[in-house]
Amino acid sequence: MKITKDETAKVAKLARLELSEEKLELFTAQLGDILAYMDKLGELDTSQTEPLYTPVSHTTVVREDEPARTVAREQILSGAPEDDGQFFIVPKIVG
């Protein structure tokens, strides 16, 4: 699959990234390489392969889940386009 510079620019805009022309060309090439590799993987016959849920077999270390405040609310809200001082303000999407 080939990706165009316009498609990369659209993805960057959705991610709220401002890319220079140089970065846009770089990311377009990199995304193109990734998509080409995915296409190559898609050509493999995996019909006789049993699916894996994880490629490694290890036990998960379980720890106590204890809530802790590590970042100030003001710092979190500073990246929001709009807030009321306590919560994010988002557009209403349900009628």
Q: What is the pLDDT of residues 27-51, one digit of tens each?
A: 999 999 999 999 999 999 989 988 8
Residue 32 lies in a domain: yes
Identify whether 22 is part of a domain.
Answer: yes
**pTM metric for this prediction:** 0.51
Give the number of C-alpha atoms closer than 13 A to the C-alpha of residue 85, restricted to the C-beta side: 0
Residue 5's domain comprises: 1-42
Domain with 36 in it: what CATH number?
A: 1.10.20
Do the domain assignments include residue 35? Answer: yes
* Count: domains in the chain: 1
Task: Please indicate, yes or no, if residue 6 is contained in any of the structural domains.
Answer: yes
Find out whether 28 and 5 touch, Cβ atoms under 8 Å: yes
- The reply to whether 37 falls in a domain is yes
pLDDT, residue 64, reads: 84
